[in-house]
Every structure is written in structure tokens, then in C-alpha cells.
Amino acid sequence: MLSLFHVPLSPFCRKVRLTLAEKRLEVKLIEERYWEAGTDFLRRNPAGKVPILRYDGRMLAESQAICEFLDDVHPEPSLMPNDPAGRYEVRRLCAWFDDTFHTEVTANLLYERVNKKLMGRGYPDSQKIKTGSTRIKYHLDYMSWLLEHRRWLAGNAMTLADFAAAAHLSCLDYINDVDWERAPLVKDWYATIKSRPAFRPLLADQVPGMPPPRRYADLDF
């Protein structure tokens, strides 16, 4: 059986969890407080990061490389298009969410509100919260623009790009930082993803001392 070393509110771990679940791969989840990483964890993973997937005895790191590997080895249902231009667009958007969105939004909101508290590193920086709250609006607008032209973010089929985006947004929704009313098309898209069986375990996540808002797990939010 596969094992995933993860933390519940990590968008990178969630992207891998969604991919595993969509492909009906059973996985044992092992929560890893990587910031307190002991020597055992660092031996498994010198980069000191999560997610780490144990697969056939090998330790796999880097969420995008892991997800593309899973899609390569377990091609059904596929999360990558068949044509090079389609694959390009998926990879561009994964990088967009995991790099640009991550830096501008996730790091400013989620890491300030949640990770700092969990790691005992003080209080949220109000300037960063403000920056994140402003930037998420532009990102919701950009996603709306994409969804005006396409059924899913990268085209007319669901792909890894949707999971990358949903992984970030679901973490931010857990802390009530997504203004769904601003972007009805994004809300509809998220409702569709949220209702997939693959999403259910994410909706059951609980961070001690930080309960999510009621609508977080509500499919009709």
C-alpha cells in the first residue's frame, strides 16, 4: 500500500491526495509536522518538505513530479490531455497556481493565519493578510475569465490544473478566505469538483483548535 507523508492544509499535499483518490489508489496518510522534522523524516526526505509519497519502496518528492508520475503509471482516468498544446496548458496553469498564486495568495493568507500558529511562530502579519486579500480577487477574476471560455480551467476536460487550483482554494476556504460571491463561475466549478468522491477526505480534515466554517464541507455552499 502507498503511504503519503503530508499535512492536511497543504495545497501541494492536497493536489497529490486528489490525484491518488481520482485514480482510486489507496493510500495511508501519515501526518508529518515537517517543521519539527526529526532525523527519521530528514533521512526519508533531505529537502525536509511534504508531500512525500512512498511508492513501491521509493520515496517520491515534489508534488508536480509525483502527480505526473501517477498519471503516467495509472493513466485511467487521465488527468492530462492527449495533445502537446493541451498538456502545455495544464502545466502552465499548475505552475501558475503552485508558484504565482502560492506566493501572492496562499503564503500571505494560509501561512500567516495557520502555519505560523501551528509552528509557534507568532501572529499573522496584517500587511501580508491585506496583500493576500487583494491578490486573491485578481486570481478569482482570472479564473472566471478562463471559465467563461472553457468548461474546466485548462480546457473542456478536468485535468491536474483543476486539482492544483482546487487544492489551494480548498485550503483558503477552510479559513474562510474565499469570497465565492465575487466569482459565480468559479463557485460553480468548485461545487462540481467538491462533489467528486475524490474530494470527500479533504472535506473531513480537521486542524485541532481551528475548526472550518460550516459551509467548508457543505456541497451546497
Distance in Å, CB of 23 to a second copy, minimum: 13
In angstroms, the CA 102 to CA 82 distance is: 27
**Contact footprint for a second copy (CB under 8 A):** 46-47, 60-62, 64-66, 68-69, 72-73, 84-85, 87-88, 91-92, 95-96, 99-100, 142
Q: What distance in Å separates the CA atoms of residue 221 and residue 73, rounded to the nearest whole number?
A: 35
Identify the CA nearest to 51 among candidates 31, 36, 71, 69: 31
Q: Which residue has the cell 485541532?
A: 208
H or E element in which residue 3 lies: strand 2-6
Closest CA to 77 of 24, 26, 27: 24
Closest distance to a second copy from the beta carbon of 154 (Å): 11
90 or 166: CB nearest a second copy: 90
Residue with Cβ nearer a second copy (82 or 126): 82
Which is closer to a second copy, CB of 12 or CB of 190?
A: 12
Rounded least distance, CB 6 to a second copy, Å = 17
Q: Which is nearer to a second copy, 61 or 203 (CB)?
A: 61
